[in-house]
Amino acid sequence: MSLDLSPITESRLGQEARKLGISVDALVQQLMKDRGATNGAASGEVPALPNWRLGLKGALHRRDIYNDAG
């Protein structure tokens, strides 16, 4: 995988990696793991779908959809 980073971000990652004593690649992998940036399908997890409580609505009539119906 490749990332296009700005020079500022790249230097910040380098500084943080040196501070922790690890490589930049290891730091990026650690950040991705900690932030959950991996693809759910690749890790075997299925993302939960939102559960919206919208209430009940009966069948729509033509007058509800089109202005020309009388």
pTM above 0.85, yes or no: no
Distance CA 69, CA 16 (A): 65
Write down how long the chain is: 70
- Separation between Cα atoms, residue 68 and residue 28, nearest integer Å: 58
Q: What residue spans define the domains of the chain? A: 1-36
pLDDT per residue as tens digits for the range 7-64: 999 999 999 999 999 999 999 889 888 887 555 555 667 778 877 777 777 777 788 7
Long-range contacts of 1-10, Cβ-Cβ distance < 8 Å, separation of 24 or more: 3/28
CATH class given for the domain over 1-36: mainly alpha
One-letter amino acid identity for 12?
R
Taking the C-alpha atoms of residue 2 and residue 22, their distance in angstroms, rounded to an integer, is 19
